[in-house]
Structure 1
């Protein structure tokens, strides 16, 4: 499988921005006129994750004529579910102790169905809603890869995906302000989390990956300044949103050029992003994302006051950074003792089974 190492670190940056969006906006470090407009909209980084996932899937399987659906889903399951389950367990323990477990919510979360059900997307481990969406992408990707991308020319694929992206954006902007469809089962909030409303992002990432592999992958060059220019455009877009909704794929127009430029780059930024520490931070970014809520659940204001003498109002910023540091450490530990061993066991099992046959 082809792997573009410099993209890995961008996942860490996106994960940290999402943590700040959820828990750090009231800190004086972030709550100021210089950066608050960025961090109040940092949830768009989830959109970046979805687009990047679509891109990486194509790059990873470029040399395959067909994807074995069972093997693919097994590997995806091994990659995300152990830490996803850890997040659920950590949130569940206090609920069990207080006897407030909602078994319907538990069922939906265990089977990654919560984003499909109105009002249930943010139950239990809140960030898990995006894994419910990602699971949907994983299920449909073998079909798109085997039955669409390998059978139709790039022009046809481009027209189809761009059309779907446009329809998705128009539909979202029509439904969000007024929700005009009588009897429509999803509320405005539900639409932000509903998997079908995010499919355009994953497919846009697929399309970017197809173009990259077919036409750009051999064109390595120093594009540091181009990357910085795209980042500036993203900042300007967030500063002046002009009424647009960025949450469900609108920023693909800027995220895709950013991903492609980073993939092509051989400049200073890539040298930094490919360093061992940056790659490792990128590798643990999934743990940072999915374990953020459990860490905040366990490291309560009461416990910070009791063990660190930190006042939740006066020392809000210090409390945030202590929790963030703990989150990074816990994500690193879970990566080393849970994520990697589980993946290796599944890989070894497959190898042993092949040898026996």
Structure 2
């Protein structure tokens, strides 16, 4: 099963993260009306993790999953562009001062497990290191838990794990509890600390598959608007809470669930091919953002586009963003999709 209206939301989250990394100095995103949104837009990664858990259930729940075939398909999906981003980063750095340990951990997607290594090399890649842990865990979860245990028991365990994760995470980042070897900063990126997001997405998918078919044809747009406004309130008034570890699942879960069920006008529009395509290239946008910014230096913007970033910050950002989207489209069509097919065929 494929739920098209969810695909475009990945594009929105990816663009928000790009703004968080590179666009917050622009007056377009730093004014008093919206700056609180983009200063917290890294929560888009948390949305990716919850959505990933949901999509995995929708795609595979009715199957007895083969560990090798599943990982091969996941590898084919994420690794070609992931390694391309590392290569481009290395070229952009002209191979100077490259730490061999960092390079090894990034190529093997293990960086998030090691202290002070998560954001080395192409730093958005830390989330793919986390995703790899999810992927390796999922066949076991599906074959031995989700397909064999009652939904009630699964719900209790996952919600309990989610709650414990939130309490432990906040205890660590506010120095009420420490973890040997790891720094507080390491905890932001550690796979175990983000596992609750994937699991809560799995649980949402399990409930979605068991829902009444009548719910498919309802208009949930008013509910979705209220949820979006609630999200804005949470981002505006954080009251000491940190949302990097899945706390916003309280909003992301109902958004994903209701958007999947809704047959409103907006859902129909974002299910159209152009919007779905933008969602499909969101992974490339996310993982290639740093190499693109690395190549498009202030000097090159001035030389080829006549832009002075000190005076035209917003325009410089938009030019880079446009090039990132175009390049990501090219990568999706001519690198990601063809290599995915070849890997699946030959292996």
TM-score, structure 1 as length reference: 0.95
Aligned to 1:353: none
CA displacement at 1:300 relative to structure 2: 0.7
Change (3 A) 1:217 1:343: farther
Contact 1:312 1:319 in 2 (8 A): yes
Structure 2: distance between partners of 1:73 and 1:218:
35
Structure 2: distance between partners of 1:194 and 1:282:
26
Structure 2: distance between partners of 1:267 and 1:224:
6
TM-score, structure 2 as length reference: 0.97
Gaps of 5+ in 1: 351-357
Counterpart of 1:344 (choices 326, 335, 341) is 341
CA displacement at 1:185 relative to structure 2: 1.4
Counterpart of 1:93 (choices 68, 88, 91) is 91
Aligned to 1:80: 78
Equivalent residues in 2 for 1:111-190, closer than 5 Å? 111-178=108-175, 180-181=177-178, 184-190=180-186
Equivalenced residues, count: 346
Contact 2:76 2:344 in 1 (8 A): no
Structure 1: distance between partners of 2:71 and 2:91:
29
CA RMSD between the two structures = 1.2
Gaps of 5+ in 2: none
Aligned to 1:295: 292
Alignment partner of 1:31 is 2:27: no
Structure 2: distance between partners of 1:112 and 1:125:
11
Aligned to 1:210: 206
CA displacement at 1:309 relative to structure 2: 2.0
Partner SS state of residue 63, structure 1: coil
CA displacement at 1:225 relative to structure 2: 1.1
Aligned to 2:14: 15
Equivalent residues in 2 for 1:255-334, closer than 5 Å? 255-334=252-331
Structure 2: distance between partners of 1:179 and 1:146:
37
CA displacement at 1:307 relative to structure 2: 1.8
Q: Return structure 1 stretches of 4+ with deviation > 6 angstroms.
A: none
Deviation string 1:51-108 (CA, Å, 9 cap, x unpaired) is 00000000001221x100000000000000000000000001133x353221111100
Comparing 257-266 and 267-276, the one that deviates more: 267-276
Aligned to 1:354: none
Contact 1:223 1:266 in 2 (8 A): yes
Partner SS state of residue 240, structure 2: coil
CA displacement at 1:224 relative to structure 2: 1.1
